[in-house]
Amino acid sequence: MTDVDAIITRVHHQEWARVVAALARRFGDLDIAEEMTAEAFAIAVERWPADGVPPNPGAWLTTTAVRRAIDRVRREAKREEKHREALMLSDTEPPEPLGAIDDDRLRLVFTCCHPALAMEARVALTLRMVGGLTVAEIARAFLVQETAMSRRITRAKDKIKAARIPYGVPLRSDLPARITGVLAVLYLIFNEGYLASHPATDPVRADLTAEAIRLTRLLHALMPVDGEVVGLLALMLLTEARRAARISATGELVSLADQDRGAWNRSLIAEGHALVRARVASGHPPGRYQILAAINAVHTDAPDVRDTDWSQVVALYNQLLRLDPSPIVRLNRAVAVAELDGPEVALAEIDTLPLDGYHAQHATRAELLRRLGRSAESRAAYDRAIELAGNSAETAFLIRRRDQLAGDTVDRSDG
């Protein structure tokens, strides 16, 4: 890769959302915004190696994309009214103040995550329009055909146009519901990258986790006082910090207790801890993402698993349960309860949960039954977890743990 190629790659990472957002605001059409931005980058790839990189790459790309968009509108004008509208557009208009660019990007995030769209459409559209991923990349990430993903994104854009969804930040009264949807999309993208849900893909997708963190950083920069935005960013950073230690050299998942904590990314941990401390100091009641970030802060603060403050973890889960009394939260809480009160207490809680189709419940049961010496039941639970697991690294871990049961002590459940 040449120096110019590297610059173009970096500029694409930094400027794609800015250019798309500027065009979407100006022309009110996501198709035009996306396609003309892509054309502008293609022109840059052709011209910059010979002409040199312009002093302000983002402005050059925006100007080029706007001119291409005007040309397109003129070419496609079928009626006199549209033709007059096209002629009114001028590429000689004074540039927008730089401060407006970030607002445009925020509008684009909210447009892509509008509650009128299905969640899968929100994720795909956000990755394409704001994240700058190609349709092929998004299709690979979610294991669907490229043509199917293209149709999904097209339908989402068509729905935005047909429903006349405004390209703008929602009213203040609508903001809490819209923020919740945006954060849910970003968290879903991160989780798909952190532990991919299908065995045919890499167990960890660093590109997806990086995109999710980048988009959340963008949202945090635009909404710095929103506690749940801060909480989600902290949660992602503290989780991502452990990525290098989560998969072994043989491609197997490494449990938190067995991870090499020296391989954790200390700069991400420090940043995540600072965000958590700032939210605690604010005195505002924490939301779901803030509590999850605090739980991760407890884990990443312990130099060894034996130093983990499990009582604090359980207390935080108790707080989370008041906001989200879901079976999965109760399952995660039971894991911490096992460390405080023993596996039998935790097992009694887990066995009441309606999560038979969730592999993590069976994996957790298997570990608790193993600790209780009930090997036959543990093996059956491992078998069920392996059957349901989709991640290749997690499956490898579960198979090894199950096969180790043959060398364990005599099964006390068999008498």
pLDDT (average), residues 87-102: 48
Please check whether residue 130 is in contact with residue 109, taking contact to mean a CB–CB distance below 8 angstroms: yes
Q: Is the pLDDT of residue 338 over 50?
A: yes
Q: Report the percent of the chain where pLDDT is more than 90.
A: 55
Q: Which of 295, 337, 299, 344 is nearest to 316 (CA)?
A: 295
pLDDT (average), residues 59-73: 92
If you compute the radius of gyration of the chain from its CA atoms, what whole number of angstroms results? 25
pLDDT (average), residues 66-80: 79
Q: Taking the CB of residue 145, how many other CB atoms lie within 10 A of it?
A: 9
Q: Report the percent of the chain where pLDDT is more than 70.
A: 88
Q: What is the DSSP string of 262-283?
A: GGS-HHHHHHHHHHHHHHHHHT
Tell me which of 380 and 409 has the higher pLDDT: 380
The confidence band for 329, taking pLDDT boundaries of 50, 70 and 90, is: very high
Burial class (CB in 10 A: 0-12, 13-18, 19+), 372: middle
Q: Is the pLDDT of residue 170 over 90?
A: no
Rounded-to-integer distance, Cα 245 and Cα 139, Å: 28
Q: Is the pLDDT of residue 293 over 90?
A: yes
pLDDT at 179: 87
The confidence band for 96, taking pLDDT boundaries of 50, 70 and 90, is: very low
Q: Which amino acid is at 99?
A: G
Rounded-to-integer distance, Cα 37 and Cα 101, Å: 15
Q: Is the pLDDT of residue 85 over 70?
A: no
Task: Compute CA distances 104 → 20, 108, 169, 219, 346, whole Å.
Answer: 9, 6, 9, 12, 49
pLDDT (average), residues 120-146: 84
Q: What is the DSSP string of 175-230?
A: HHHHHHHHHHHHHHHHHHHHS-SSTTS-S--HHHHHHHHHHHHHHHHHSTT-HHHH
Q: Is the pLDDT of residue 241 over 60?
A: yes
The confidence band for 98, taking pLDDT boundaries of 50, 70 and 90, is: very low
> How many residues are there in the chain?
415
Q: Is the pLDDT of residue 188 over 90?
A: no
Q: Is the pLDDT of residue 259 over 50?
A: yes
Side-chain half-sphere CA neighbours of 150 within 13 A: 6
Rounded-to-integer distance, Cα 32 and Cα 29, Å: 6
Tell me which of 315 and 129 has the higher pLDDT: 315
**Euclidean distance between the first and the last CA atom of the chain, given in angstroms as a whole number:** 66
pLDDT at 164: 82
pLDDT (average), residues 238-252: 93
The confidence band for 102, taking pLDDT boundaries of 50, 70 and 90, is: low
Q: Is the pLDDT of residue 392 over 90?
A: no
pLDDT at 410: 43
Q: Which of 245, 223, 220 is nearest to 234 (CA)?
A: 220
Tell me which of 27 and 83 has the higher pLDDT: 27
Q: Per the structure block, which two tokens stand in for 411? A: 């099964």
Q: Which amino acid is at 23?
A: L
In sequence order, the β-bridge partners of residue 247 are 253
The confidence band for 274, taking pLDDT boundaries of 50, 70 and 90, is: very high
Residue 34, H or E segment: helix 30-51
The confidence band for 100, taking pLDDT boundaries of 50, 70 and 90, is: very low
Q: Per the structure block, which two tokens stand in for 181? A: 């949807």
- What global pTM score does this model have? 0.80
Residues 6 or more apart from 42 whose CB is under 8 A from it?
A: none
Rounded-to-integer distance, Cα 180 and Cα 174, Å: 10
pLDDT (average), residues 208-228: 89
Residues 6 or more apart from 15 whose CB is under 8 A from it?
A: 57, 58, 61
Q: What is the DSSP string of 136-163?
A: HHHHHHTT--HHHHHHHHHHHHHHHHHT
